């Protein structure tokens, strides 16, 4: 995540005065399919976002997680586990909605973070057959 994105999220959340919660190493913050009733910003430590035994992402201080379910109203799409002693800020639904309404910096930071994650996910996708999913421009030209 870029520093600007981290700063935009962390500063908006800090100004909102949300409570913090501590987790020990291996502490489960939430489990896949849990209701998404809050989002989190890491104050210190690290969190792994895991699904079916894989680490999807490892995130650190000032980064947000758990926001997807807050945005789309769905349940948790993966689990979150503390790596080392970790402290997080807990953003409840009403505070999250208020920040979305009142803080353009928070909204832009969330959008940038989601775009970054989507780009990383897309870059890591590989076709099952080893063939490109969509022909390149060069392939389209030579096929004519």
Q: Is residue 80 exposed (0-12), middle (13-18) or buried (19+ Cβ within 10 Å)?
A: buried
Provide the pLDDT confidence category of residue 66 given band limits of 50, 70 and 90.
very high
pLDDT at 47 over 80: yes
Report pLDDT digits (tens) over 16-30.
Answer: 888 999 999 999 999
Q: Which two structure tokens, joined as six digits, stand for 18?
A: 């949300």
Closest of 43, 94, 37 to residue 67, by C-alpha? 37
Q: What pairs with residue 35 in β-bridges? A: 75
pLDDT at 40 over 60: yes
| 35 vs 75: CA distance, rounded Å | 5
3-state SS class at 54: strand
The pTM of this model reads 0.79
| 38 vs 65: CA distance, rounded Å | 9
Indicate the helix (H) or strand (E) that contains 82: strand 79-92
Report pLDDT digits (tens) over 68-126.
Answer: 999 999 999 999 999 999 999 999 999 999 999 998 989 998 999 889 888 887 887 76
């Amino acid at each position: 995540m870029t520093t600007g994105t981290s700063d935009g999220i962390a500063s908006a959340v800090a100004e909102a005065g949300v409570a913090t919660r501590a987790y020990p190493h291996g502490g489960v913050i939430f489990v896949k399919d849990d209701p998404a009733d809050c989002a989190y910003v890491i104050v210190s430590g690290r969190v792994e976002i895991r699904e079916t035994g894989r680490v999807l992402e490892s995130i650190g201080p000032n980064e947000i997680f758990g926001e997807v379910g807050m945005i789309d109203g769905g349940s948790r799409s993966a689990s979150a586990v503390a790596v080392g002693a970790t402290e997080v800020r807990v953003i409840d639904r009403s505070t999250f909605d208020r920040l979305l309404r009142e803080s353009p910096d928070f909204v832009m930071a969330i959008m940038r973070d989601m775009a970054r994650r989507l780009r990383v996910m897309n870059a890591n996708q590989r076709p099952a057959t080893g063939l490109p999913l969509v022909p390149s421009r060069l392939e389209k030209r030579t096929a004519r």
